[in-house]
Structure 1
Amino acid sequence: MPMVATLASVAALLRAEAERIARKAADDIHRELPGYASIGRDDLAGSAWLNVARGMSSLEEGEAPRDVPDGEARRTTRRRIRQGMAIEDIIRAYRISLNAIHDRFIEVARERSLPAESTLRGSTLLWEVGDWFVADAVKEYRTHAVSEVVRRSVEEVDVLRTLLSGSSVDPTLRPRVRALGMDPDRDHHVVLGHPTSGSREQWAADLARYGSTPGAAALVAEISGRTAALVTRIPREIAGRGVLAVGPAAPLRDLGTSAVAAEHILALVPGEIPGLHDPSTVSWRLAIPVTPLATRLLRRRYVEPLMDEGDFGVILLDTVQAHLEHDRVVRATARALVIHQNTLRHRLARFEELTGCSLESTNTIVELSWVLATRRDTGTLDVRPGITGEERPLP
């Protein structure tokens, strides 16, 4: 009486053909997935052989594999990711391999007259093996994706800090810059700033988008509570949604200079008013942060005499600032402040009396413009943060 075929006996026959099935699967993968061309046939056949073995074990045991924390599916997926394969191609390659196994299973089942019920059960088991692999592959990919995001974020901050510090460009830095999508041979602007509306995440994403050019991605990271970036294109599109302080374009080795300029610009401009500011818009004010002695001397001359006046001292300084902003035209200044022209004249005279200066003097206008540029805001006598530099005693 002939022996009745079983799933186990069919599985044993397929095990004997494992190498041939694996090589057919490798050839099918190379033919259908161009992205796998860089992976050798022996490497693919080795993975396919493991797939055959896993499928046959499931047929023999009558159940699909269980989830294993670091099992075959995850190890294979991890290796393919390191080889540059996309998760979609990894899953597709496994499906192709499984098709080769499944097709041969059906052929042998027919040749050996495997009962229809057993054939259906075997076919179902093989597809369950496929579902198991896909589930584990996706889990591994997600783990890798999270790890890669964290790794890249740390790398972006480290590279950005190094370049902004003005340190000499180490030979190992260029490949790291390239790996982040930047072009180390292009000049970059240092951009510092923050959004005045919307989320910081969207601001950073738009800064990266509009600050990039083909082949030269922008590098954006959060450093010391603000957004810093290296861009090959000035992102003017987002100037209406935040403050952008843009340093001059410079090669990698000189980005420290661009960073210093951007720092000074950011210290000079109002933090709550959106706009794009660069050396051409800030002009002579760039000298203020690097000349703290002059700032302290001028504040002593024009601000300290007002302090004993209390709130009226602040009003006087606001009035003088508005007067200069309106080119010292009395009618325009009075209209802007919503006061009578005589009230304006009285305030200006009182300012001259307290400070001992003449608002008709060109020297006074220059010095006042300097000291007013250091104000934190109207309505206060405080200096803007980052303006005075290191405090040293006056001679």
Structure 2
Amino acid sequence: MADRAAGSVSEALAARAQRIARDVHAEISAHIPTYGRVPRADVEASVVQIVDDVEAVLRAGAVPPPASIAQAEESSRARAKQGVPIHDIMHAFRFSMGAIRDAVSAIAAETALDAAETVRLLTLMWSYSDAYTVKVVAVYRQSDIESALEQARRTQQFLLGLLDGTLEGGDLTAAASALLLDPASSYRAVRARPARGEVGPLLLELQRQGARHEGVSVFAAIGAQCVGVVAFRPEAVGDDGVVALGPAVGVTELAVSFRSAHAVLAAATTLGLSGVHDLADLSWRAAAANADEVTALLRERYLAPLADQGEFGQLVLEAVAVYLAEDRSVPRAARAVPVHVNTLRYRLRRFEELTGCRLDSTDTIVEVSFALGVAARVV
């Protein structure tokens, strides 16, 4: 008897599927804005399929396991690709189940179905609803993972193409657009390297910084470096890591920015610098880092004479480096070392005696700074 009653309700429910689909679409359109991206035919087809599933559940008297509810997987994947968030998908599903519940209740009343059987059928419906929800959540979680992996793959391919110069023209513009980079905005290339350890923490911190700033930023770990494109100037990461920046350019000129960032990173690494640097920050120091023969000549001229002086030679060299870093202010340099001003003057005088140069000569100032690599760094 119960089977015949369930069969009658199922048949009547199936006959109302199209009307239920139209009503549900109207409710979704009125209350869930993100479904404006979904064609009406798609929404109504999904609702009809849900009605068919419920009709089969009522007829069979049993709910299938979540994994076998194909409609939940198909529609969830489709909505995810259309940019509908999971909470809106579930909201729409509740509209569907509400409309189906109302239809089943109306059919039960029209056919004078007894209360116990009505409750049984409605219970089956809500059990199906629970199984459907489990499937949707699983599918959406997997879809998120797949989307993240695909985004990471696209990002890495984009950055690799810029690094090796194989991405250009229309392909570059298309790849940048796929990553939501604005062709009308300016971006800076980033090449960063941790002083020690894995590149992962550096990548994570730069991604966090990007999330705090307006505009799109993309990063990827490539080899021992973190490579990226940003619309802001990153902050220093850790005490010893170095972040090298290229100039701000349009999307089509990003390869140029990457070449500059590469030169900055190489120079900063050679000079033993940490923190955030671009070419303007390093200025002539970038040339010093890449002029081995000139640097060797000048170090022989200005630094080698101090090597025979042992520890005192290092103290003299420190005094010169700090003196230059403090714009040749003896009082400031003495405080920075720290020593008495007369001690600093003595060490500077000994430097002049040992090297045969004068620290009031422009050539000497330039050459000694070049030899040191960076004026404030003791070599």
Instruction: Tell me which interval the TM-score lies in, with the shorter structure as reference length.
Output: 0.7 to 0.9
Q: What is the TM-score of this pair, normalised by structure 2?
A: 0.82
Which deviates further from its counterpart, 40-49 or 72-81? 40-49
Corresponding residue for residue 370 of structure 2:
370
Query: RMSD between aligned alpha carbons?
Result: 3.4
| Mapped contact 1:208–1:219 kept (Cα < 8 A) | no
Query: How far does residue 86 in structure 1 lie from its aligned partner after superposition?
Result: 2.0
Amino acid at match of 1:115: D
Q: What is the TM-score of this pair, normalised by structure 1?
A: 0.79
CA displacement, residues 239-280 of structure 1 (integer Å, 9 cap, x when unaligned): 697765433222334333323333444434887765x54444
1:157 aligns with 2:160: no
Query: How far does residue 135 in structure 1 lie from its aligned partner after superposition?
Result: 1.3
Corresponding residue for residue 41 of structure 2:
42
Corresponding residue for residue 218 of structure 1:
217
TM-aligned CA distance change 1:301 to 1:339, over 3 Å: same
Give the secondary-structure state (helix, strand or coil) at the position aligned to 2:170. Answer: coil
Amino acid at match of 2:210: L
- Separation in 2 of the partners of 1:59 and 1:331? 92
Query: How far does residue 313 in structure 1 lie from its aligned partner after superposition?
Result: 3.8
TM-aligned CA distance change 1:97 to 1:206, over 3 Å: same
- Separation in 1 of the partners of 2:77 and 2:159? 29
TM-aligned CA distance change 1:302 to 1:208, over 3 Å: farther
Query: How far does residue 150 in structure 1 lie from its aligned partner after superposition?
Result: 1.9
- Separation in 2 of the partners of 1:334 and 1:168? 53
Which deviates further from its counterpart, 352-361 or 316-325? 352-361
Amino acid at match of 1:143: Q
The structure richer in helix per residue is 2
| Mapped contact 1:193–1:244 kept (Cα < 8 A) | yes
- Separation in 1 of the partners of 2:100 and 2:66? 21
**Sequence identity (%):** 34
- Separation in 2 of the partners of 1:118 and 1:325? 90
Corresponding residue for residue 334 of structure 1:
334
1:100 aligns with 2:99: yes
1:205 aligns with 2:237: no
- Separation in 1 of the partners of 2:376 and 2:194? 19
Amino acid at match of 1:204: Q
| Mapped contact 1:261–1:286 kept (Cα < 8 A) | no
Query: How far does residue 140 in structure 1 lie from its aligned partner after superposition?
Result: 0.6
| Mapped contact 1:178–1:184 kept (Cα < 8 A) | yes
TM-aligned CA distance change 1:127 to 1:353, over 3 Å: same
Amino acid at match of 2:58: L
Query: How far does residue 103 in structure 1 lie from its aligned partner after superposition?
Result: 1.2
Structure 1 unpaired stretches of 5+: 382-395
Corresponding residue for residue 351 of structure 2:
351
Structure 2 unpaired stretches of 5+: 196-200
CA displacement, residues 49-95 of structure 1 (integer Å, 9 cap, x when unaligned): 22112112221222222121673311221122123322122222222
- Separation in 2 of the partners of 1:247 and 1:111? 74
Corresponding residue for residue 130 of structure 1:
129
- Separation in 1 of the partners of 2:35 and 2:13? 26
- Separation in 1 of the partners of 2:172 and 2:188? 18
Give the secondary-structure state (helix, strand or coil) at the position aligned to 2:96. Answer: helix
Query: How far does residue 341 in structure 1 lie from its aligned partner after superposition?
Result: 4.5
- Separation in 2 of the partners of 1:37 and 1:340? 76
Give the secondary-structure state (helix, strand or coil) at the position aligned to 1:221. Answer: strand
Listed as ranges, the matches of 1:289-300 within 5 Å are: 289-300=289-300
| Mapped contact 2:158–2:167 kept (Cα < 8 A) | no
Amino acid at match of 1:262: A
TM-aligned CA distance change 1:317 to 1:90, over 3 Å: same
- Count how many residue pairs are aligned between Structure 1 and Structure 2: 369
Amino acid at match of 2:301: R
